[in-house]
Amino acid sequence: MERIGDAFGWPFRDPDWLNKILIMGLIQLIPIVGGINALGWMLAGIDRLRAGDEKLPPANFDYLLKGVQLFVVYLVYYLALALIAAVLYVPAVLVLAQQGHDSPNAFLVLLGFALMLLTFAIVTIGSLALTFAMPSIVLAVDHGGIAGGFHIEAIFRRARSSPLNTLIAGLMLIAAGFIGQLGVFACFIGVVFTSAYALAMQAWIIRSFEVGSTPTPTK
């Protein structure tokens, strides 16, 4: 993961970084469409870094087709996680609601709370797993489209081929996600800036992961 720390600073190397970040941040405010376009913009950033161009892609709506594939893959993974959680959460709620009357059964109350805790654990661990797998998933979609995003064996193989790179990339993505949310605690313009800036960081992180996880050709 050479130069991984540069993820924080590379967007500022573009002389037009402020306009691009702000425009993309405003586009992201558009429900669904803005998010899809933003994912495509992040993928375009990876393409530029591959080509040795460390300038941000232009800020416009040209990335919808590129982003929709990654959006679909993300949606399916997170819906699957939500479905698994719901299988445990709904019975927990029903059990606790039923026992919320007079003379509750201690065993059933304990069972309800146990299911709640298990649901929380699954959501937490599943979300972390998806975060650490994100570089491999993004690269799989970038090279193989939607079908590539569901090639679980190849994604897992890439993620485990370099555990250190996977760990560092995952931690950096968590940091990028935190930065992306910082604008919530600031004024409106803060949300616009930090969300797009976090995507630019993701592009660098995933490209660094790609470089670090690509085997060096032997002579």
pLDDT confidence band for 219 (50 / 70 / 90): very low
Domain-embedded: residue 207: yes
Domain-embedded: residue 153: yes
User: What predicted TM-score, i.e. pTM, was given to this entire model?
Assistant: 0.87
Question: In the chain, pLDDT over 90 holds for what percent of residues?
Answer: 66
Domain-embedded: residue 66: yes
Domain-embedded: residue 175: yes
Domain-embedded: residue 82: no
Q: Is the pLDDT of residue 32 over 60?
A: yes
Q: Are 71 and 39 in contact (CB under 8 A)?
A: yes
Whole-number Å distance between alpha carbons of 28 and 24 = 6
Domain count, the chain: 1
pLDDT tens track for 93-133:
888 888 777 677 888 889 989 999 999 999 999 999 999 99
Range of the domain at 208: 4-74+132-213
Domain-embedded: residue 95: no
Q: How far is CA 174 from CA 127, 170, 199, 210, in A?
A: 11, 6, 12, 18
Domain-embedded: residue 93: no
Q: Which residues contact 115 (CB under 8 A, 6 or more apart)?
A: 88, 89, 91, 92, 95
Domain-embedded: residue 119: no
Whole-number Å distance between alpha carbons of 4 and 170 = 12
pLDDT, average across residues 53-79: 94
